Amino acid sequence: MAVASKKIPAPDEVRIQTALLSVSDKAGIVDLARALNEKGVRLVSTGGTHKALAGAGLPVSDVSELTGFPEVMDGRVKTLHPGVHGGLLAIRDDADHKAAMDAHGITAIDLVVINLYPFEEVRAEGGDYPTTVENIDIGGPAMIRASAKNHAYVTIVTDPSDYSALLEEIADGTTRYAFRQKMAAKAYARTAAYDAAISNWFAEALDFAMPRHRVIGGVLKEEMRYGENPHQKAGFYVTGEKRPGVATATLLQGKQLSYNNINDTDAAFELVAEFLPEKAPACAIIKHANPCGVATAPSLAEAYRRALACDSTSAFGGIIALNQQLDAETAEEIVKLFTEVIIAPSVSDEAKAIIARKRNLRLLAAGGLPDPRTPGLTAKTVAGGLLIQTRDNGMVEDLELKVVTKRAPSAQELDDMKFAFKVAKHVKSNAVVYAKDGQTAGIGAGQMSRVDSARIAAIKAEEAAKALGLAAPLTCGSAVASEAFLPFADGLRSAIAAGATAVIQPGGSMRDDEVIAAANEHNVAMVFTGMRHFRH
């Protein structure tokens, strides 16, 4: 049953006379408090914040002066008291509320400045269970929610980045209703994201994969000029997960990344991370969230050249991801082609200077590579809901491959199979990938028919061969990967026609026997992985 409103109109301006400051992040709080004090605002504080303000020589009351009760239980209980919450929730223009305040000696609190215990940071740093639980804030969210609900009279500030806006707002000692509304909206968003982080951590810690209620929260990193298209609005929100990638990377040069840049850069870096840097340099080139070339080689520059050779036409204006530090030689090669974004774990000073010639080229240093095996969640919106799933962290190296044909693959074919399957995992379904000697030979992505994906990949290989002046496309003698089972033999026959001699696929089709028979007929080696990698 809904609670009836007293329908008392909110005043436009409220004079700030008493402020309660209780922050975990002390950045800027002393300067803010000093400015408030200069305006004659009474300062009330708690614990470490009180100590910081008093240490700066500011006149500050302890919250116990409002409650008449000391902080107890190591500070767990200090603000959960009518002396605080009455001062936050009282409707100032209501006679009954005013009488209650007078009767119980409750002081009105006009401004609340709070930021919460660093739960997200402790979680991201891998804190143990007791430490993480101890960093769940109770009093802070309660005061934030109370203040935000009563924004008709109370100003709530939860983000240090809003301190300057607050000081500008109270130049005349008051806050306007529109400002209090805006701060209240931000406050509820903050507590929602905080609670989301806590609930998701519990689900993860207790292996509760799909709880009844699921919320995903984030902090706005930047508002974008537009979304996928100019008529769409967009923002980039970060969750606090410390997984190296576009969300944590440092932009070394270039203009703001667009919505599409971020989406493609994430796809590129996640793909290149499949290839361990200690084994070989690797390069992935992405266009519209699909790889148009991937390669490993003895040097990073050679890996880039080999990746580019797969489809140099599509690579124009693409995203380049590297699994090792970007060096000068590789940078010299990359700047020959128009490229939107480069992302690498790190960048040498020489490479930075070379890339600087292209002022609009965005250069990102991620500080490391994401671990493909790390669990996590992915989300996609649908009308009226969210689709949540665990991250696809399956690795072909961890699978027990089953040879299903008369001929087993050679060692080289097996290496090419694994390489192709790693790439296929990151290609939109239906996906078919040809690979030879650690290099993609042709990629077919996102077709309604797997046969068409196989044919398109072969056509791409033929075009690349012509551009490179090769006598035959690299699909000749290649391994081919399908990210899901081959439902009919026609897809396999298309791959064989392109020159593939080995096939890797999940298996599991009703017509597996038919597909295996076709492979045996052409002396093609085939292995089943037992794992598929749909990507929609």
Handedness of CA 251, 257, 259, 264 (dihedral sign): negative
Q: What confidence score (pLDDT) does residue 9 get? A: 73
Residue 336: C-alpha distances to residues 301, 392, 466, 479 (Å): 12, 35, 20, 30
pLDDT in tens, 121-130: 898 888 999 9
68 or 345, greater pLDDT: 345
Q: Domain 246-365 carries which CATH code?
A: 3.40.140.20
Residue 405 pLDDT more than 90? yes
Give CA 10 to chain center in angstroms. 39
In this prediction, residue 207 carries a pLDDT of: 86
Res 146 pLDDT > 90: yes
CATH superfamily membership of 400-528 = AICAR transformylase, duplication domain (3.40.140.20)
As its CATH architecture, domain 13-206 has 3-Layer(aba) Sandwich (3.40)
Q: CB neighbours of 536 closer than 8 A, spacing ≥ 6?
A: 428, 429
Question: Where does the pLDDT of residue 4 fall: very low under 50, low under 70, confident under 90, or very high at 90 and above?
Answer: low
pLDDT at 3: 67
User: Residues 148-162: pLDDT tens digits?
Assistant: 999 999 999 999 999
pLDDT in tens, 345-369: 999 999 999 999 999 999 999 999 9
Report the distance separating Cα 485 and Cα 483, nearest Å: 7
Q: What average pLDDT does this structure show over 358-385?
A: 93
**Catalytic residue, candidates 26, 39, 149, 182:** 149
Question: Does residue 145 sit in helix, strand or coil?
Answer: helix
Q: Kindly report the pTM of this predicted structure.
A: 0.83
pLDDT of residue 276: 95
Residue bearing the bigger pLDDT, 425 or 105: 425
Query: Catalytic site residue 288?
Result: yes
Round the average pLDDT of the chain to a whole number and report it.
92
Counting every residue written for the chain, the total comes to 536
Say if residues 479 and 436 touch (Cβ distance below 8 Å): yes
Tokens, residue 179: 């400002």
483-497 pLDDT, tens digit each:
999 999 999 999 999
CATH 3.40.140.20 occupies which residues in the chain? 246-365, 400-528
**CB of 342 closer than 8 Å to CB of 326:** yes
CA-nearest of 69, 30, 68 to 50 is: 30
Handedness of CA 291, 292, 294, 300 (dihedral sign): negative
Please indicate whether residue 149 is annotated as part of the active site. Answer: yes
pLDDT over threshold 90, residue 89? no
What is the C-alpha to C-alpha distance for residues 61 and 50, in angstroms, rounded to an integer? 8
d(CA 12, CA 287): 52
Q: Which of 51, 98, 182, 288 is labelled catalytic?
A: 288
CB 344 within 8 A of CB 284: no
Intervals of CATH 3.40.50.1380 along the chain: 13-206
Q: Please state, in angstroms and rounded to a whole number, the distance separating the CA atoms of residues 351 and 280.
A: 20
Say yes or no to pLDDT of 208 above 90.
no
Question: Looking at residues 396-425, what average pLDDT do you find?
Answer: 96
- CA end-to-end span of the chain: 43
Q: Is 440 helix (H, G, I), strand (E, B) or coil?
A: strand
Is residue 429 a contact partner of residue 277, using CB atoms and an 8 Å limit? no
